[in-house]
Amino acid sequence: MTSLKQLKKGVDLELRELRKVDYDVEILKRHLVEREIEHFSVRDILNTFFGAFIVGLTFMLKGLLIEIGTSLPWINVFLIVTTTLFILSMQVYFIGYTRVKNKHARKLGQFLVKRVITTYTVSLIVSFFLLYLFGMVRYLITLENVMRLGFILSMPCAIGAAIVNLIKRYVE
């Protein structure tokens, strides 16, 4: 009788192990084979920040940015912001949402708005921070010029942030 109980215990233990292995294989399949998109997280926001910072930094050090940025009409600044939001939306849709398996559970609007607004907000914060960090606020004299240059600089920052997410999707 004891050997039968020991045998049953061993079988139960093996069944638990098999279930665990099956669960692990399912997770690996979702992430490696199907490349399922995970939910937006704090890590994604931090990656966005660093991508925006690195690309924004390269544009920040260009002298032509101040020269052209301060003389650019507001309509062009508006077009830059609109184009940036369009590029981010397309990146989120084509790189992210097209790979979502359960589209009924993850609605396009929520998926898109959450990522685009977060990415663009981080890009704006980074662009204004870079202007302040490098003392450009002093040279721009008026708040209007600071705002204009911040919005202009947000475009390369946003694209840098989007590139980080793009690379993340294909590297993981």
- The pLDDT tens digits for 105-127 are 777 777 788 888 999 999 999 99
Return the pLDDT at 31. 58
Return the pLDDT at 169. 59
Which string of b and e fits 118-130 if b means at least 16 CB within 10 Å?
A: bbbebbbbbbbbb
CA atoms within 13 A on the CB side of 146: 16
Return the pLDDT at 168. 66
List, for the chain, all residue ranges whose pLDDT scores fall below the cut of 70.
Answer: 1-2, 29-40, 97-100, 168-172
126 φψ region: left (φ > 0), alpha (ψ -120 to 50), beta (else): alpha
Return the pLDDT at 36. 53
DSSP 94-152: IIIGGG-S-TTTS-HHHHHHHHHHHHHHHHHHHHHHHHHHTTHHHHH-SHHHHHHHHHH
Return the pLDDT at 149. 92
Query: Please, what is the average pLDDT of the chain?
Result: 82
Instruction: Specify the pTM.
Output: 0.71
Return the pLDDT at 23. 80
Return the pLDDT at 82. 96
Dist CA 164 CA 32 (whole Å): 19
Asked if residues 104 and 110 have their Cβ atoms less than 8 Å apart, the reply is: no
The helix (H) or strand (E) run that includes residue 42 is helix 42-60
